[in-house]
Amino acid sequence: MASKPYTKDEWKAINAVLDNDPDKYGFPKRIYGTALMGSFNIRKLGSSRSRSAETWQFLGRICKQFDLIAIQEIMDDLSGLNRIMEYLGPEFGMVVSDKTGVFPGASGLGERLGFVFRWSIVERGEVISDITYDRTKVIEIMAENYQAIHDVMQPYSNKYLEYRAGTRSKPRNIKLPAFLSFIRQPYCVSFKIKGLPGTQPYEFMAVNAHLFFGDYMSDRRQEFHALMQWIIERVKNNDKAYYPNFVLLGDLNLDFNNPVSDRIAVERSMKSYDKDGNDETDITKHINVNFPFLDTHPDQRDVFRTNARLSETFDQIGLFFRDSSKNWPTYQNNIHMGSRYTGPDYGVFNFVKLFHDALGVTPLPDKMSATQKKNFFGRFEHKVSDHMPLWLRLTLPID
Residue range 195-228, pLDDT digits in tens? 877 778 899 999 999 999 877 788 888 999 999 9
Q: Which helix (H) or strand (E) segment is 352 a member of? A: helix 351-358
Question: Residue 123: beta bridge partners?
Answer: 192
Those residues of the chain that have pLDDT short of 50 are 276-280
What is the distance between the alpha carbons of residues 66 and 64, in angstroms, rounded to a whole number? 5
pLDDT at position 278, please? 47
C-alpha angle with apex 16: 14 to 20, nearest 5 degrees? 120
Side chain identity at 90, as an amino acid letter? P
- Domains of the chain, each with CATH number or no CATH: 8-133+179-395 (3.60.10.10), 134-176 (no CATH)
Side chain identity at 230, as an amino acid letter? W
pLDDT at position 1, please? 55
Hey, how many other C-beta atoms are within 10 angstroms of the C-beta on 315?
Answer: 28
Residue in 173, 181, 180 with CA at minimum distance from that of residue 144: 180
Question: Residue 140: beta bridge partners?
Answer: none
pLDDT at position 255, please? 78
- Going 165 to 170 to 176 to 179, the CA torsion angle's sign is positive
Hey, how many other C-beta atoms are within 10 angstroms of the C-beta on 230?
Answer: 19
pLDDT at position 340, please? 59
The answer to whether the pTM exceeds 0.85 is yes
pLDDT at position 120, please? 95
pLDDT at position 124, please? 97
What is the distance between the alpha carbons of residues 190 and 244, in angstroms, rounded to a whole number? 10
